[in-house]
Amino acid sequence: MDNRIKNIMKNMEFTTPATTEEINAAEKELGLEFPKSYVDFLLITNGAEGSIGEENYLVLWSVNEIVELNNEYAVKEFTPQLTYFGSDGGGTAYAFDVSGDTISFAEIPFESIDIEDRVHIANSFNAFVEALAK
């Protein structure tokens, strides 16, 4: 994680890093290979929570929570192109979007079961964090 992203996330609480084994197990369970930029983040902290930018709040789930909460929310049943990985602490989920040629980062209301409700945010984890900080 570069210094610019660390500075943007300075008010967030970090946890202990995820292990490669935990990341691999979650990817296998989800049938998804996480973007490299996100794996790099998980190797620094296995989840984070707090203010980002002047007005936003960000909750990034641990790898175990990603698996558990995607199952709980039945994400693959209703929006198989998405895998949730966090939220704004309220009604918006943040997700990996696999509907294109590469994985992108998107948001969608938790109550939605319509893929058309997703909004593209960025193409990398760093760009996702930067977009939320604006």
Name every residue whose Cβ is closer than 8 Å to that of residue 98 and which is 6 or more positions away in sequence: 32, 81, 82, 83
pLDDT tens per residue across span 2-52 = 888 888 999 999 999 999 999 999 999 999 999 999 999 999 999 999 999
What are phi and psi for residue 11, nearest 5 degrees? -95, 5
Average pLDDT over residues 78-94: 97
Q: How far is CA 80 from the centre of its chain?
A: 16
Q: ∠ CA(82), CA(83), CA(87), 5° rounding?
A: 105
Number of domains in the chain: 1
Which CATH number belongs to the domain containing residue 67 in this structure?
3.40.1580.10
Residue 1: pLDDT band with limits 50, 70, 90: confident
State in Å, rounded, how far the first CA of the chain is from the last one.
18
- Using CB atoms within 10 Å of the CB of residue 130, give its burial: 0 to 12 exposed, 13 to 18 middle, 19+ buried: middle
Structural domain harbouring 121:
3-133
Question: pTM to 2 decimals?
Answer: 0.94
- pLDDT more than 70, % of the chain: 100
Beta-bridge partner residues of 56:
52
